[in-house]
Amino acid sequence: MSLSNLAADLQAGLPDLAVVSGSGADGYEVNGLQPAAIARPRDADEVAALLRFAGERGLAVTARGGGTMLGQGNAPRRLDLVLDLRRLDRILEHRPRDLTVTVEAGITFGALAEALALHGQMLALDPPLAARATVGGVLAANASGPRRQRYGTARDLLIGSRSVLADGTRVRAGGKVVKNVAGYDLNKLLIGSFGTLGVITEATFKLTPLPAALGLLTASFDDLAAAHAVALSVTRSALQPLSLELAGPGIASRLSGTAGAGSTADGWLLVIELGGSPATVERTAHDLARLAASGGAREVRAQDEQRERIMRRLRDWGRSAEDAAALILRASVLPADAPRAARALAEAAPEGGSPALLVRCGSGTVLSYWDERAAADMRARVARLRRTLGAIGGTLVVEQASPALLATVDAWGIEGADVALMRRVKDVYDPRGVLSPGRLV
C-alpha cells in the first residue's frame, strides 16, 4: 500500500475514526518527520483499533499529547501515523475524600490542576508548559519540574493506568487505591517510555492537598561552589522546601523582572520555593535565610509576590517564547557533583559563548540551554561531555535539539547491561516496532 493512500485506507478501515491528512497534518511533524495521516481517537477502543490497523500493515505510529516533549528522544526510525490523544480529555472520577483522581490521558495538566484546585487539591507534578502538556504526555516523558524536590516524580504519584499495547491489547496496571502490590508494576515501565511500549489512555493518581501558604526566597551568590554548598545543606536538613533551584548567570539575570530577583549579571541565584502552613513557611524562610547568609550569600530576599512568575519561568525555561533555547542538554549526576557537571557544560561552549545553566539541586540535574550559534555542530562536544560525566557515573540527555543535530547524536547516551535488557523489554512489548521505533532504545 502506498503511503499516499494511507489516510483514505485508514478512514475506510475505521470509518468512525477522525482522520486528518494533507494540510490538516501540518504542525504534526515529529523530529522533522512528516506523518502521512493524523488520527484523533475519542476513546481507548479507537486507539486499540488504530494500533491493530497499523500492526497489520506494518505502519509506525507515534502517540502525542500537547507536543511539549515530542521533540525529546531520537527521531523515530519510521513514522506513518500520528495518534493525537487530546480528545481523550475527561476527568473520569475524582474522589476528594480519598485523594485520588482518574483521568483520560489527553486532558491537559492545566485543566486538571484547575479542577482539582476547586477541592483544595493538586496532582503534585509541575511539568513545563502545563497549559498545553497532557497528562499522558507528562507520564510518557516522565516530565517533572522544580517541585520534584518535595513531591518526587510521576513514579511516586501514578497508582494505576490503562493503556493499549502495540498489538492493540488493552491493559490495566495498578488500581485506584494508593497502596497496591498486586501484579508487576507496569505503571513504572510506562512512565518515561516515550510512548514506545504502549499508549497510555487513562491514569489514576494519588493527590496532595494544596499548601495553605506559599513563599519564595532568593539568595544571590558570587560563585557556584558557595551557593551549591548551601543548597546541599538544605537537602540534608529537616526543612522541606518545595523547590530548590540554582540559576546560573544566563538565567539569574533574566529572572529579574520589574521587581528584580536580587541578582546581578554574573552571579548565581538560589531560588527556594516554600509551602505549607503559614507558620511552617515563615519558620522555613527564617532558617533558610540564615543558612544562606552564613553560607556567603551576597543578598537574601523574600520574594513572595514574585513567586508565581519566577517559578513559572524556571519550570518552562528554554521552552517558552521569551526564553526559547535552540538546544537543551540535561546532565544527571550525584547532587554533590552538580558543580562539576555545570563546569563541564560551560566549558563545552564554543569560544565566547556559554549556556544558561539551571541546577535542580536535590536531584543532581543540571539543565543547560544553548542558543543557535552554540547549538551548531554539537556532536563532538556532546561526546566529550558524555566522557567527562560518564567518569563520575553521570549521563547527558539531549532534551531538545534540531532534527539535524538529533540525526547525528544519540539523544540518550546510555550503555550497559541494563540497556540490553531495555531492548528486550521493547522487543517483547512491541515486536513489530509499531510504536515510535528507535525513539528510546
Partner 1 sequence: MGTITPTLISALERIVGAGALYWRPEDLLVYEYDGTIDRGRPSVVVLPDSVEQVSAIVRLAHKHGLPVVPRGAGTGLSGGALATEGGILMPMARMRRILEVDPVNRFAVVEPGLVNLELSNAVARHGMFYAPDPSSQKACTIGGNVAENAGGPHCLALGVTTNHVLGLEIVLADGTVVRTGGWGRERPGYDLTGVFVGSEGTLGIVTKVCVRLLPLPEAVQTFLAIFDSLEQASATVAAIVGSGIVPGALEMIDRQTIQAVEPTLHCGYPLDAEAVLLVEVEGLDEQVAEAAQSVTAICREHGAREVRSATERGAREQLWLGRKGALGAFGSVMPNYYILDGVVPPSELPRVLEQVNEICARFDLRVANVFHAGDGNLHPCILFDERVEGATTRVLDAGEEIMRVCVDAGGSISGEHGIGVEKREYMSWIFTPDDLAAMQRLKQAFGAGDHFNPCKAFPTHAGCGEVMRGPSVAAVGPGAYV
Subset of 288-307 contacting partner 1 (CB under 8 A): none
Residue 214 CB, nearest distance to partner 1 (Å)?
15
225 binds partner 1 (CB under 8 A): no
Are 328 and 318 a contacting pair, CB within 8 Å? yes
43 binds partner 1 (CB under 8 A): no
**DSSP conformation class of 30:** B
Among 283, 309, 343, 384, binds partner 1 (CB under 8 A): 283
* Residue among 22 and 416 whose Cβ is closer to partner 1: 416
Residue 334 CB, nearest distance to partner 1 (Å)?
5
Residue 113 CB, nearest distance to partner 1 (Å)?
17
The C-alpha cell of 139 is what? Answer: 507520564
CA distances from 160 to 123, 151, 155, 177, 358 (A): 14, 18, 11, 8, 32
Among 60, 173, 247, 375, binds partner 1 (CB under 8 A): 173
56 binds partner 1 (CB under 8 A): no
The C-alpha cell of 435 is what? Answer: 510504536
**DSSP conformation class of 251:** H
In this chain, which stretch among 19-27, 74-82, 358-366, 379-387 interacts with partner 1, using CB under 8 A?
Answer: 358-366
Site for partner 1 in 109-168 (CB under 8 A): 120, 152, 155-156, 165
Q: Which of 205, 218, 211, 185 is nearest to 107 (CA)?
A: 205
The whole-angstrom separation of Cα 408 and Cα 350 is 18
Among 11, 208, 253, 256, binds partner 1 (CB under 8 A): 208
* Residue among 72 and 263 whose Cβ is closer to partner 1: 72
The whole-angstrom separation of Cα 224 and Cα 217 is 17
In this chain, which stretch among 24-32, 63-71, 281-289, 376-384 interacts with partner 1, using CB under 8 A?
Answer: 281-289
The C-alpha cell of 216 is what? Answer: 519564595
For residue 369, give the 3-state DSSP assignment: strand
Torsions phi, psi of 417, nearest 5? Answer: -65, -30
387 binds partner 1 (CB under 8 A): no
Residue 295 CB, nearest distance to partner 1 (Å)?
15
The DSSP result for 110-135, as a single string, is: HHHHHHHHTTTEE-S---TTTTT-BH
The C-alpha cell of 200 is what? Answer: 497510555
* Residue among 1 and 181 whose Cβ is closer to partner 1: 181
Among 68, 149, 363, 388, binds partner 1 (CB under 8 A): 363
Q: Which residues touch 149 (CB under 8 Å, ≥6 apart)?
A: 241, 242, 243, 244, 360, 361, 362, 363
Please report where in the chains the cell 538544605 appears, as a residue: 234
For CA atoms 47, 48, 53, 57, the dihedral sign is: positive
In this chain, which stretch among 103-111, 202-210, 214-222, 299-307 interacts with partner 1, using CB under 8 A?
Answer: 202-210
Residue 348 CB, nearest distance to partner 1 (Å)?
19
Please report where in the chains the cell 508494576 appears, as a residue: 185
Lay out the site mask for partner 1 across 301-340 (x = CB under 8 A, - = otherwise). Answer: -------------------------------xxxxx----
Residue 275 CB, nearest distance to partner 1 (Å)?
11
Are 82 and 39 a contacting pair, CB within 8 Å? yes
Residue 131 CB, nearest distance to partner 1 (Å)?
25
In this chain, which stretch among 37-45, 60-68, 91-99, 377-385 interacts with partner 1, using CB under 8 A?
Answer: 91-99
Among 53, 109, 370, 412, binds partner 1 (CB under 8 A): 412
* Amino acid letter, residue 72: Q
Among 13, 175, 390, 438, binds partner 1 (CB under 8 A): 175
427 binds partner 1 (CB under 8 A): yes
The C-alpha cell of 179 is what? Answer: 497502596
Site for partner 1 in 226-265 (CB under 8 A): 232, 235-240
Among 4, 5, 34, 169, binds partner 1 (CB under 8 A): 169
Within 10 A of 133 (CB to CB), how many other CB atoms are there?
Answer: 23
